[in-house]
Amino acid sequence: MFPGVHAVSTPDKPAAIMAGSGRTLSYRELDENSARLARVLYDGGLRPGDVIAMVSDNTLECFEIYWAALRSGLYVLAVNRHLSPAEVAYIIDDSDAQVVIASAGVGELAGSMPELVSGVQRWLAFGGPIDGYESYEQALAAAGPRLTEQPRGQDMLYSSGTTGRPKGVKPPLPGITVDQPGDPLTAVAGKLFRIDSSDVYLSPAPIYHAAPLRWCGVIHAYGGTVVLMEKFDAEQTLAAIEKFSATATQMVPTMFVRMLQLPEETRRRYDTSSLRLALHAAAPCPPEVKHAMIEWWGPVLAEYYGSTEGNGLSVITTPEWLQRPGAVGRSMLGPVHICDDAGNELAPREIGTVYFERETLPFEYHKDPDKTAAAQHPQHPNWTAVGDLGYVDEDGYLYLTDRKSFVIISGGVNIYPQEVENVLTLHPAIFDVGVIGVPDAEMGQQVKAVVQLHPGVAPEDSLAEDIIQYVRDRIANYKAPKTVDFVTSLPRTATGKLVKRELEKRYSPA
């Protein structure tokens, strides 16, 4: 299904609501505006397989743009608005986008693009004027009749760039019409999570990110209502759950941590009992954090592991996780294979690279065949990996250990920073933490914890010693930090991912 179906049956139902302002987009408006934009793009010469770029803050027009692409066979590129102008220009240029549609809310960033990018045919701005852009609203008002053919398009997203320059992830077009079944995420959401038209889905994350964009699309496919937050705020998230009686939400573990760090009286001020599903993904969740959330919200948490590349998906419910703490589930999209560096498949509980097997190659990196080839298994090209390490148990449950590129090798022994970060996340003095390897003349590398303290906590030597001992009391001593550095902030993306490469640069030899 897609919004056009619900525009017929429930035209006045809210397809999306802005949590802060209360501004609403009905299913009639979503259907009409996305159809008008699809016509505008078609009359501008775009055909299936072409690319449009969206540069925006969290706003309702994002859904019109998304569904315009999906109902006309186009790729929609959602660009991270927190990047620098040069980084955004690189992505737009690299993607071969022919049209850029931008929000006045990011007008300064978007306004610099026409001078930095040469291949774009048309620039459209909504919510207010941007120099060098046409009016989105006027273009829609002048649109011709609806298109009769509606081949389904796809998103084309760029990886976060936490391990280097962003890579364009381009899945094949599905070869179906927009109202036909065939999207695997939509199917999983309905079958496993029972998503339907009664759901009110709170989305607190930036809409340019893969998971929020795709899951909001899933909610629209089923005819539910999306409540889109302008930006994440721990207390305002709880307030929105209560105000809109949200039944489902999706968060990253950092958001859980921020909510748990609120004073107890603040957390208990809000009624979250309407929630029946709290999805989390994008980064491993420390077991202590997840236990605390289950104690607070009940057995409504469901974790999934996937990637922007969409090469695989594993899911685990609360009851399953309580039996297997640390697992990220069993695969919903083809078998999981754990392999060593030579490509040999490993036995259960042996750590290696995580591959998902699919019937066909599920993605390619745009204009980068070498990166595409590097993601493929050396003997099985339809097995793909995105650089994560982990293992499976005897029942096929997947456990992640870390990113392959972040493993610390000290004295020939592998140490996984995520394990140490998990221990320190709920230390009473720590607001945020990152663990990295730094050079060591004798051991090759040693473990360093980079810590942001809660306001009012003094960064003293005795506290550093306490933090090191805190880790030693909980996991093997050799995994404990040798040193602790106190900083005012850690580099994180707007979606909560720690940009570990930036952290490592601070401590790399000159």
Q: What is the pLDDT of residues 16-66, one digit of tens each?
A: 999 999 999 999 999 999 999 999 999 999 999 999 999 999 999 999 999
Structural contact between residues 77 and 52, judged by C-beta atoms closer than 8 angstroms? yes
Question: What percent of the chain clears pLDDT 70, i.e. is strictly above it?
Answer: 98
From 95-104, 115-124, 432-441, 500-509, the region with the lowest mean pLDDT: 500-509
Q: Are 220 and 3 in contact (CB under 8 A)?
A: yes
The rounded distance, in Å, linking the Cα atoms of 425 and 401 is: 16
pLDDT at residue number 162: 44
Residue 484 tokens read as 């602790």
Judge whether residue 266 has pLDDT over 70: yes
* DSSP-derived pairing of the beta strands 200-203 and 248-251: parallel
> How far from each other are the two terminal CA atoms of the chain, in whole angstroms?
56
Model pLDDT, residue 163: 45
Higher pLDDT, 281 or 107: 107
Of the two residues 133 and 408, the one the predictor is more confident about is 133
Q: What pLDDT, on a 0 to 100 scale, did the predictor assign at position 468?
A: 96
Domains located in the chain, CATH noted: 3-13+21-174 (3.40.50.12780), 327-406 (2.30.38.10), 408-506 (3.30.300.30)
- Per-residue pLDDT tens for 62-107? 999 999 999 999 999 999 898 889 889 999 999 999 999 999 999 9
Backbone angles phi, psi at 24, to 5 degrees: -125, 145
Average of per-residue pLDDT across 469-482: 92
pTM of the model: 0.85
Tokens read off for 455: 């306001």
